[in-house]
Chain A
Amino acid sequence: MKKVPVQFTLNGEDKAEFVESGATLLKALREKIGDTSVKAGCQQGTCGSCAVIVDGELRLSCLTLAERCDGAAIETTGGLAHGEVLHPLQRAFNEGFATQCGFCTPGMIMAAKALLDGNPQPSREDVVEAISGNICRCTGYEPIIQAILAAARANSLSAA
């Protein structure tokens, strides 16, 4: 299969790779770039564990072709922490037991980040809506919803 060059920024860093034409962004990120924070779940768009942010919009990397992200800015959970310092969402998930097996967590956190980036003070309904494309089989969702609301509160306190 023909290889095509793709360039994008991943968590602010320039990346350039040759990918197979038609390869998914999920495959490119995990197998070419080595960002395994993006999880390969159902690969049918149903579970949300592969969710990443592309040019500010939440996308499913399993259904997005890498070539279509040429020139884009891609954000994944792998780029959220600064050294030892966790992102407020990561901290809130950790402190609120919003992670159990952890497989859905990167997708959940990216869905939550996309929400908070556009709506820093969401209502509970906004949060439920924002994570409605992400499946968690462990927590029953409530700790996740509470963690996202807690991260929003922490953000507003630090902004004050």
Chain B
Amino acid sequence: MGLGLKTFPTLAAAGEALAASATARYLGGGTLVVRSANEGDVRFDTYVTASEQALTDITVADGRATIGAGVTMARIVREPALGFLAPVAKAVGGAAIRNMATVGGNLFAPVPYGDFAVALLALDANLDIDGQPVAASTFLAGRDTTHARALVRSVSFALPVDGTFKFAKASRIRPKGVSVVTIAAVVEERAGTISSARIAYGCMADRPIRAPAVEMALVGKARTAEGIAAALAVATEGTTPPTDAIASAWYRSEVLPVHLKRLLLSA
């Protein structure tokens, strides 16, 4: 069956079109939506997209970054001011996927995808939805309900202090593969102890999640093997990892503390 494409000059107009038709689907880079159509998904018959400039803008100023939802992973890799995010964007698919995959689409990507969204969660990013800031954590929690038809214009976050952002993705295929587990962290230290920690996981639930027990156990400790031991002991708390073709839930739970330890102790 053929699908129609409707392109609107603004995201608001695209939103109206989506609201008017339950069988319309917003199209970002299309790596998931067009794939669904190719696989015979008949739940939608129209692609809706927008050409608004803000969707492809990147602004880095006054210690904050704002990235349009239509910015691709390849663009992020090329953006010098977002160098710390290059390893995250590079972890998404192969070269062709990165030229197409957008930040907005990654927020909606089902497990085992969503590596960039994991980083956004650790960065405590806000999403611009209808001109309102919505915390990435709130958005992800309501992704299938409150925010299921929400359109994201951009994401923004405070730039992390140099060296505090850490990212790791474990996969079974080299050099690229779908995630077994993805971890992003922003860990700040003062006078030899951890003063704040935000830890986010991918593939440890049906969507990216924060790890509050780990975060609490890290604060006030030294970033050493002994210092992080209590945090590693609660690494899997609150997780409900999936079993899929890549890994079983059991395997994910077993390897998570290993990867978390390596990440936290990395330079």
Please measure, in the bound complex, the distance between the C-alpha atom of A128 and the C-alpha atom of B176, giving whole angstroms: 10
Judged by a CB distance under 8 angstroms, whether B192 is at the interface is: no
Closest residue on chain A to residue B39 by CB atoms? A44
Which residues on B sit within 8 Å (CB–CB) of A109? none
**B96 with A2: CB separation less than 8 A:** no
**A43 with B38: CB separation less than 8 A:** yes
Chain B 89-106 near chain A by CB (<8 Å), digits 1 or 0: 000011111011000000
**B30 with A134: CB separation less than 8 A:** no
Judged by a CB distance under 8 angstroms, whether B175 is at the interface is: yes
Judged by a CB distance under 8 angstroms, whether A133 is at the interface is: yes
Q: How far is the CB of A125 from chain B (nearest CB, A)?
A: 8
Chain B 25-40 near chain A by CB (<8 Å), digits 1 or 0: 0010011001101110
Please measure, in the bound complex, the distance between the C-alpha atom of A67 and the C-alpha atom of B38, giving whole angstroms: 16
**B47 with A22: CB separation less than 8 A:** yes
Given contacts A45-B31, A57-B74, A133-B93, contact A63 B4 (CB under 8 A): no
**B95 with A58: CB separation less than 8 A:** yes
**B2 with A60: CB separation less than 8 A:** no
Q: How far is the CB of B167 from chain A (nearest CB, A)?
A: 17
**A132 with B94: CB separation less than 8 A:** yes
The one of B5, B93, B96 that contacts A65, using a Cβ cutoff of 8 Å: B5
**B5 with A67: CB separation less than 8 A:** yes
The one of B46, B100, B175 that contacts A128, using a Cβ cutoff of 8 Å: B175
Which residues on A sit within 8 Å (CB–CB) of B27? 65
Size bin of chain B's contact surface:
20 to 34
Judged by a CB distance under 8 angstroms, whether B3 is at the interface is: yes
The one of A4, A43, A59 that contacts B96, using a Cβ cutoff of 8 Å: A59
**B4 with A21: CB separation less than 8 A:** yes
Closest residue on chain A to residue B176 by CB atoms? A132
Judged by a CB distance under 8 angstroms, whether A14 is at the interface is: no
Judged by a CB distance under 8 angstroms, whether A76 is at the interface is: no
Chain A 123-139 near chain B by CB (<8 Å), digits 1 or 0: 00100111111100000
Size bin of chain A's contact surface:
20 to 34
**B96 with A60: CB separation less than 8 A:** yes
Judged by a CB distance under 8 angstroms, whether A20 is at the interface is: yes
The one of A1, A20, A22, A111 that contacts B95, using a Cβ cutoff of 8 Å: A111
Chain A 112-125 near chain B by CB (<8 Å), digits 1 or 0: 00110000000001
Which residues on A sit within 8 Å (CB–CB) of B5? 4, 21-22, 65, 67-68
Which residues on B sit within 8 Å (CB–CB) of A43? 35, 38-39
Chain A 58-76 near chain B by CB (<8 Å), digits 1 or 0: 1110111101100000000
Q: How far is the CB of B110 from chain A (nearest CB, A)?
A: 14
Judged by a CB distance under 8 angstroms, whether A106 is at the interface is: no
Closest residue on chain B to residue A134 by CB atoms? B94
Which residues on B sit within 8 Å (CB–CB) of A57? 74, 99
Which residues on A sit within 8 Å (CB–CB) of B2? 1, 20-23
Interface residues of chain B, those whose CB is within 8 Å of chain A, are: 1-5, 27, 30-31, 34-35, 37-39, 46-47, 74, 93-97, 99-100, 175-176
What are 14 A-B residue pairs whose CB atoms fall within 8 Å in the complex?
A21-B2, A21-B3, A21-B5, A22-B2, A22-B3, A24-B34, A43-B39, A45-B35, A48-B96, A57-B99, A60-B96, A68-B5, A129-B175, A133-B93
